[in-house]
Chains A and B, each alone.
Chain A
Amino acid sequence: MRKTLFNLIFYPLLIIVTIGMSSFFFFPVVITRSFFGVRRTLWVVRQLIRWYALVLMRFLMFPFVRIIYKDFEIGKEPGACVYVCNHRSSADGFFVANLNVEYVQVVGNWPFKVPVIGWIAWVAGYLNVQKMSFLEFEATARQLLQENVSIIAFPEGSRTTDRKVHQFRGSAFRVAQKAGVPIVPLCISGNQKVLEKGSWLFTPGTVYLHKLPMIHWEEFKDLAPFKLKNMVRKIIQNEVDKLEL
């Protein structure tokens, strides 16, 4: 009953907010582009995406979904980072919006196919790893990091349905090593119940998103990328175990 009510309220509001905010976004983007150039415009687009996601997560889902962030209040990292998060729900890209930094996400093809959201993600420069060679991905990601734009990656590649953090793909880790930036592991839990894989119906629940201690570049610069990705995978797996055992 509560689940039905949640979805009956959420989806109409989602459509209204998406249309409303995307119309509202148009003007500041055009104005910024006219007067401040591409770089500033991209910053505005990325901030607007963050705000959109925060509206969805904090207002539209309230009070059915509670999101508990841990260590997000510590403050910004000193510069651009590569954030890596386990992946269990198609809403994960929205849950991480609470990171108070300018970022782009590493995604596959499907988010670009979602009406409105896909187009805005394309404008914001989200990285489609399924369409890029590693060299293209590396060059683009390094350029973003140099511009102080962080990268958020879900290195499992696809959503998992069990408690196990599955094998990681190494692209994001290789970029962090080559660009000389830190890695910040993120652990998400509870999201798999709120929006189960294969379903578009939300279930009321609690989502935990923990920001784990930053791994400084000096700590991993000489590690083989394979060892590095597995080290980070174990860190996130340990946190999942703590949350779910």
Chain B
Amino acid sequence: MDEEQLKKLVNEVFEESFETNTEHLKADAMIFEDIGLDSLDIVDLVVALQKKFKVQIRDDERIRNIRTLGDIYQFVINLKDEGHIPEA
């Protein structure tokens, strides 16, 4: 799975779980201000990401630093590089 595929899967999480329009899914979109998630939605996001990528991230401290969609892309790419995400 390459980086573009990972980003596509992240976007699918937003489209499926939060009905976010595709045009809002840009790397620089702020997940709170632009996409409209709140702190409780982040819990739902983590659950949806875990399900999509079959990975446990609930206790990962890096989640606290996520501000933009690009941060999520990078977080998922790092998980892949670290071998946490199984190959499709």
**Known A224-B44, A226-B44; contact A170-B38, beta-carbon cutoff 8 A:** yes
- Residues A226 and B18 in contact in the complex (CB < 8 Å), given A169-B38, A170-B38, A170-B41: yes
- Tell me the nearest residue of chain B to A157, going by C-beta: B38
Report which residue of B32, B40, B44 has the largest number of chain A beta carbons within 10 angstroms of its beta carbon. B40
Pairwise interchain contact B18-A227, C-beta atoms closer than 8 A: yes
Interface range on chain A (Cβ under 8 Å from partner):
10 to 19
In the bound assembly, the distance between CA atoms of A225 and B18 in angstroms comes to: 9
Given contacts A167-B32, A167-B33, contact A227 B19 (CB under 8 A): yes
Specify which of A171, A227, A230 is in contact with B40 (CB 8 Å cutoff).
A171
- Most chain B beta-carbon contacts within 10 A, residue among A168, A170, A227, A229: A170
Q: Quote the shortest CB–CB distance from A30 to chain B (angstroms).
A: 40
Number of B interface residues, CB 8 Å? 12
Q: Give the distance in Å from the alpha carbon of A168 to the alpha carbon of B17 in the complex.
A: 17
Q: How far is the CB of B23 from chain A (nearest CB, A)?
A: 15
Contacts of B39 in A (CB 8 A): 134
A193 contacts chain B at the CB level, 8 A cutoff: no
Asked whether B33 lies within 8 Å of A226 as measured between CB atoms, the reply is: no
**Interface residues in A147-192 (C-beta closer than 8 Å to B):** 167-171, 174
User: Does A224 lie within 8 Å of B18, measured CB to CB?
Assistant: yes
| Interchain CA distance A226-B37 in the complex, whole Å | 7
Interface centre among B37, B38, B41 (most CB of A within 10 A): B38
Given contacts A170-B40, A170-B41, A174-B40, contact A224 B17 (CB under 8 A): yes
Separation in Å of the B58 CB from the closest CB of chain A?
16
Q: Which residue of B lies closest to A233 (CB)?
A: B36
Q: A134's contact among B17, B32, B36, B40, by CB below 8 Å, is which?
A: B40
Q: Give A171 to B43 CA distance when docked, in angstroms.
A: 13
B36 and A230 contacting across the interface, CB-CB below 8 Å: yes
| Shortest Cβ gap from A134 to chain B (Å) | 6
Check A225–B33 contact: CB distance below 8 A.
Answer: no
In the assembled complex, the Cα of A115 lies from the Cα of B12 at a distance in Å of 50
**Once the chains are docked, how many angstroms separate the CA of A174 from the CA of B39?**
12
Residue ranges of B at the interface with A (Cβ–Cβ < 8 Å): 17-19, 32-33, 36-41, 44
Q: Please name 27 pairs of A and B residues whose Cβ atoms are closer than 8 Å in the assembled complex, sorted by A.
A: A134-B39, A134-B40, A167-B32, A167-B33, A167-B36, A167-B38, A168-B36, A168-B38, A169-B38, A169-B40, A170-B40, A171-B38, A171-B40, A174-B40, A225-B40, A225-B41, A225-B44, A226-B18, A226-B19, A226-B36, A226-B41, A226-B44, A227-B18, A227-B19, A229-B36, A230-B19, A230-B36
